[in-house]
Structure 1
């Protein structure tokens, strides 16, 4: 048995009794310009550690790394929260709460009465009237989010783009049902704010639209589109193309408000023109209220052998 007194005491993890030579800068007594030269060296961007050098990470050469980070940050958080499937809800940022829409309409009507010959005021009144009519879809989005949240299906959550309008409505419904709810924001040249009904830790800001789109599709168990504009159309037709080509597995796609959507695009014309096939026109269907949409999604999955209340350990798209 060795003598334990010969075994040295373990040293401190970081501290030393005697400092090492490089722990002190070169004395000015030895070199008058030492401090100025050290500042120039240490303040130069080359001296910043690579993972803390934002300018370095944003060079063209490291775009691949940034793409990976844009994906990984959200992915790790979703895994940590046990989110395996999502009901993705798209919709216009311009959808108003019914009360707000009514108030804006009354203001526009009052102004039109005061300026009856002003074309711009007349147009503002028409838009306010239209937005008041569309505000019912905010309520539908809210009710849908509430139904999904109240269902308490393990691993399933409402996901939106994280903005106002239709997205806010769905997040708000899930929030008021006491469920976790997700938002995928995108960094834009003009400042934006996420809606206040998202779960802290489950709202992400992406740099790349492509990675945001990937996360929309990766766990999607269904897509619901409230009336919307360019952004909603972009996400909707992107999803339809992925499913049409079977790059992604089929999932339910529900368009809320048949009259609105038939006004936006004419699927019958596309069929008659031969631009799509009949089976492509059956990749989505219309619904008029939240219950019809939610029950339709559940029915689709039951028929598909992928019931939402079942366990899910992988993303539906297998990506």
Structure 2
């Protein structure tokens, strides 16, 4: 082999994808056959960060991305009304105004979620450490409100963002080193519930409904640690899900209706969480302590 030919071949060798170090080869790592490895990495990356920052207990807040603070909701309503005035008989525009009016009415939940996260973060922060860290999906709407409440209190909060076709961006109130981006919903759900000491659910759409019913199923089947599930907006949720009808039809037990409770104010929800963990601590003979941050491992199957 001539010298020029050897040099050219060596160049091709060094530039060949096969020569890349495996963990630096993105083409290799994104291969469909590497899905198990990618899923393990999505499990480990947040896990190591939480361990490093000594985060063992969270309060998870779910809710709709479209429920925004009042000023924004009012702006959306005015825009919808302005369009309708140009074409008053347009049924589509009429419906848009009706929907915007309903979203405006629900904007109060943005304030409640923000207040709730503030109360939790203030109550649980001692010596710069928050025992119950607010955890959300990291997006806009109710998620933003909860992260914002923790931010107002000067406390850390978590955002478990997800890659979506709409390219959901993280809200600006998450603690930077606690914002993670997921590809797989399953791993994201796992991290939502693994350290959860309470689940607080506000009105929302398919995503919120999925997260609520997933947690209820795991609690019903005792595949996760006992936690209070607090649902805001009784009138809303009883139209979305007729819980009593499920029990009346015999597809769930009457006792399953005790897996959750409704709340309308931030303080009411926090008081319910405190009562739950105080009661849970009594049988073991320990002093009541609503800041118990023991980590249940039921989700891991251990």
- Structure 1 length as normaliser, TM-score? 0.87
**Structure whose residues are more often helix by fraction:** 2
Q: Does the 8 A contact of 1:85 with 1:315 survive in 2?
A: no
Change in CA separation of 1:99 and 1:190 when aligned onto 2, cut-off 3 Å: closer
Decide which of 292, 295, 298 is 1:314's aligned counterpart: 295
How many Å separate the matches in 1 of 2:8 and 2:290?
66
How many Å separate the matches in 2 of 1:110 and 1:207?
39
Change in CA separation of 1:83 and 1:317 when aligned onto 2, cut-off 3 Å: farther
Does residue 162 of the first structure (1) align with residue 135 of the second (2)? Answer: no
Does residue 146 of the first structure (1) align with residue 128 of the second (2)? Answer: no
Q: Secondary structure at the match of 2:95?
A: helix
Does residue 119 of the first structure (1) align with residue 119 of the second (2)? Answer: no
Decide which of 267, 291, 301 is 2:243's aligned counterpart: 267
Q: Does the 8 A contact of 1:217 with 1:317 survive in 2?
A: no
How many Å separate the matches in 2 of 1:317 and 1:302?
21
How many Å separate the matches in 1 of 2:97 and 2:258?
37
Q: Secondary structure at the match of 1:93?
A: coil
Decide which of 167, 185, 189 is 1:209's aligned counterpart: 185
How many Å separate the matches in 2 of 1:313 and 1:81?
15
The structural deviation recorded for 1:63 is 2.2
Does residue 58 of the first structure (1) align with residue 34 of the second (2)? Answer: no
How many Å separate the matches in 2 of 1:58 and 1:266?
42
Match of 2:167 in 1: 191
Match of 1:174 in 2: 150
Q: CA RMSD in A?
A: 1.6
How many Å separate the matches in 2 of 1:308 and 1:113?
54
Decide which of 199, 205, 208 is 1:223's aligned counterpart: 199
The structural deviation recorded for 1:121 is 1.3
Query: Which has more radius of gyration?
Result: 1
State how 1:271-286 maps to structure 2 within 5 Å. Answer: 271-286=247-262
Match of 1:130 in 2: 102
Does residue 289 of the first structure (1) align with residue 289 of the second (2)? Answer: no
Identify the range of structure 1 (232-241 vs 62-71) with the bigger mean alpha-carbon deviation: 62-71
Q: Does the 8 A contact of 1:218 with 1:318 survive in 2?
A: yes
Where does the alignment leave 5 or more consecutive residues of structure 2 unmatched? 282-287
Where does the alignment leave 5 or more consecutive residues of structure 1 unmatched? 1-27
The structural deviation recorded for 1:124 is 1.0
How many Å separate the matches in 2 of 1:236 and 1:313?
23
State how 1:5-44 maps to structure 2 within 5 Å. Answer: 31-44=3-16
Decide which of 213, 216, 224 is 1:240's aligned counterpart: 216
Number of equivalences: 290
Q: Does the 8 A contact of 2:57 with 2:294 survive in 1?
A: no
How many Å separate the matches in 1 of 2:224 and 2:163?
26
- Structure 2 length as normaliser, TM-score? 0.92
Q: Secondary structure at the match of 2:251?
A: coil
